[in-house]
Amino acid sequence: MNKISKIAFSLVTLLLLSPIFAATANAEPTEDVVGIALSNPDFSILVSALQKAELVDTLKGDGPFTVFAPTNAAFEKLLMELDITADELLAQPDLAKVLTYHVVSGKVLAADLTDGMKAPTVNGEELMFDLSGDPMVNKSMITSTDIEATNGVVHVIDTVLVPSNFALQEVDMEEETVAKTGLESTTPLLVAMLVTAGAIFFMVFKKKQA
């Protein structure tokens, strides 16, 4: 194949594939912001926090919402700074204040951000954006942008945003454990009671037949 033929072949291939690339680029999102978090294992702590704070249904609403989503690594960094476990974080009374500080009403794409811009969050406090170098929201780097959802957009960040109205509190993890495992601990007892009742019924039934 000579040089002209190669160029012609490349142009034909590009023309044939361009509709496919265009369709992919313009594909409509199929997941809401919660679905995006659920589909990525790197957001598992975020998902657990949303479930614990009972914010899942809210973020599955019409929106639109702009969510700055911290990765598991971001949460692990916060846990080290606060010197607490993941369970202790999820048990915090002010957990919802932290999570809603990551949500802005409306759909804000990366192209909409400007250096020095402020944006009010659902928490009530503002976020500050610094685009003079690596894109930052407060002290967190924005590592991935414009993951579009059916009800908004998700941007990935490497540090959990902590609002000023969050106060770390001591929590009774023993109570949390009892509340979580109470049903599990009663299950074997219930099974044993049902088995015993069944055995007694069987013995009485056999006696009557005899």
User: What is the pLDDT, as a whole number, of residue 26?
Assistant: 56
Return the number of other C-beta atoms located less than 10 Å from residue 60's C-beta.
16
Amino acid at 10: S
DSSP structure class, residue 116:
T
Tokens describing residue 131: 């685009």
Whether 153 contacts 67, CB under 8 Å = yes
Q: C-alpha distances in angstroms, 89 versus 50, 67, 95, 163?
A: 12, 20, 7, 15
Per-residue pLDDT of the chain (210 residues; tens, 9 = 90+): 554 454 444 443 444 444 444 444 457 889 999 999 999 999 999 999 999 999 999 999 999 999 999 999 999 999 999 999 999 999 999 999 999 999 999 999 999 999 999 999 999 999 999 999 999 999 999 999 999 999 999 999 999 999 999 999 988 777 555 445 454 544 454 444 544 444 444 454 455 555
Phi/psi for 172 (5° steps) reads -85, 95
User: What is the pLDDT, as a whole number, of residue 1?
Assistant: 56
Q: Does this model's pTM top 0.85?
A: no
Tokens describing residue 3: 């040089």
Q: Which residues contact 53 (CB under 8 A, 6 or more apart)?
A: 95, 96, 99
Helix pair angle (44-52, 72-82), 10° resolution: 70
Q: How many residues belong to the chain?
A: 210
By C-alpha distance, which of 117, 133, 25 is closest to 66?
117
User: What is the pLDDT, as a whole number, of residue 2?
Assistant: 56
